[in-house]
Amino acid sequence: MKRILIVEDQADIRKLIRMTLEFENYEIHEAADGSFGLRMAAAIQPDLMLLDVMMPGEFDGLQVCQRIKSDPATQHIKVVLLTARGQQRDREAGEHVGADEYLIKPFSPLQLIDTIEQLMTPEASS
């Protein structure tokens, strides 16, 4: 079973994402801030992280993504940044830190599931 880690500071958004994904065959974990998200990613080694960009605390989503992607132990984790900021420079910042995908809030449940399925599907060459 594929593992997904939701890192989002707003409990209602975490709940909506979890409810969307409960119908799929995923093991779901949650973290409410970047620091806890980093620790959980190292501990549970999720296949994919849904990562809010703007979070209070020690690390925002861009910093978490950069740390995940620069650590050989976690760099395989697919990262989807979730943000209300959709300008080109925001997307470029996400690409710069190694994000695999970028979803702009509000996104539809179908859009979320499609994005996750695309990232979780093994490459044709595998």
Which domains are assigned to the chain? 2-120 (3.40.50.2300)
For β-strands 2-7 and 26-31, DSSP reports them as parallel
Please name which of 7, 94, 114 lies closest in space to residue 52, comparing C-alpha atoms: 7
pLDDT at 121: 86
Q: Count other Cβ atoms within 10 Å, centred on residue 23.
A: 9
For residue 102, list its beta bridge partners. 81
- Give every residue of the chain whose pLDDT is below 50, as ranges: 124-126
pLDDT at 124: 39
For residue 2, list its beta bridge partners. 26
pLDDT at 125: 36
pLDDT at 123: 62
pLDDT at 122: 73
Tokens 């994904």, residue located: 21
> Residue 22 corresponds to which tokens in the numbers above?
């409960």
